[in-house]
């Protein structure tokens, strides 16, 4: 009943012109086209409103509702499910990793959902339980592109807070020659975030590996570096 009520609320917020626009953008940017076209800010408001009615339930009950939302296949429901999981971060325990990992493998089909899950709920889990970084490293050999992208993106939550920055280079090494542009952008983004804390080390890593690093990853990684360092990194060595 709760999921049905929530979906009814989302349906009432749907505007056909926005739906058409979002579907067009979804196809262009390789996102999930099964969406209503509701602005993310409105989805977050719906999420907040309905979470207030379930927050006193057990964690497993909330996870179960999240799974119901994910099973609908709609992008808006995914945003809400991942948001609710993030709200549970103070209640995370080690076994919860298996749940979040299964969601990534089962319900994520685009980079928007991947990043939403990995920079919030999964990222918060890794921040609390860094021993699971080893599991992220194992994802780098997965045939599923979203596991490989998620391996890097799940570190961003910690790295933004100045934690686990030493692990970005191991992760980048594992993904260095990945040919998938979604993965290249993911680990390039991770390196870019690390430049806020260890710019010299990231620059040295880039200069050492730029012959093997795809240009897509390189451009993402150097985005926040000073102009002279960007120029040095982009210069091709013949």
CATH number at residue 151: 1.25.10.90
Same-domain status, 77 and 108: no
- Is the domain of 124 the same as that of 209? yes
Q: What is the pLDDT of residues 133-172, one digit of tens each?
A: 999 999 999 999 999 999 999 999 999 999 999 999 999 9
Of 16-20, 78-82, 150-154, 229-233, the least confident: 16-20
Last residue within a domain, chosen from 91, 117, 140: 91
The count of other CB atoms within 10 Å of the CB of residue 127 is 19
- Shared domain for 64 and 105, answered yes or no, is no
Choosing from 91, 107, 132, the residue where a domain stops is: 91
Domain end (from 54, 75, 91): 91
CA 1 vs CA 4, 7, 69, 84, 138: distances in Å: 5, 10, 12, 17, 39
Give the span between the Cα atoms of 80 and 194, in whole angstroms.
28
Task: Kindly state whether residues 99 and 80 are assigned to the same domain.
Answer: no
Same domain flag for 23 and 120: no
Q: What is the pLDDT of residues 24-48, one digit of tens each?
A: 666 655 555 577 778 888 999 999 9
Instruction: Write out the residue range of the structural domain in which residue 66 sits.
Output: 1-91
Number of structural domains in the chain: 2
């Amino acid at each position: 009943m709760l999921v049905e009520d929530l979906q009814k609320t989302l349906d009432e917020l749907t505007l056909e012109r926005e739906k058409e626009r979002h579907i067009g953008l979804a196809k262009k940017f390789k996102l999930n086209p099964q969406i209503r076209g509701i602005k993310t800010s409105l989805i977050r408001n719906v999420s907040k409103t309905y979470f207030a009615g379930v927050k006193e339930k057990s964690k497993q009950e909330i996870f179960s509702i999240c799974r119901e939302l994910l099973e609908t296949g709609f992008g808006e429901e995914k945003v809400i499910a991942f948001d609710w999981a993030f709200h549970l971060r103070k209640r995370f325990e080690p076994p919860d990793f298996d749940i979040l990992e299964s969601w990534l493998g089962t319900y994520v089909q685009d980079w928007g959902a991947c990043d939403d899950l990995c920079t919030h709920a999964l990222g918060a889990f890794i921040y609390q339980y860094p021993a699971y970084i080893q599991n992220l490293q194992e994802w780098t050999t997965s045939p599923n592109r979203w596991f490989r992208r998620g391996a890097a993106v799940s570190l961003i939550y910690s790295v933004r807070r100045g934690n686990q920055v030493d692990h970005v280079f191991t992760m980048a090494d594992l993904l260095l020659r990945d040919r998938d542009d979604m993965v290249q952008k993911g680990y390039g983004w991770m390196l870019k975030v690390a430049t806020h804390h260890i710019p010299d080390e990231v620059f040295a890593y880039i200069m050492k590996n730029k012959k093997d690093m795809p240009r897509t990853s390189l451009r993402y990684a150097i985005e926040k570096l000073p102009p002279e360092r960007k120029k040095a990194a982009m210069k091709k060595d013949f």
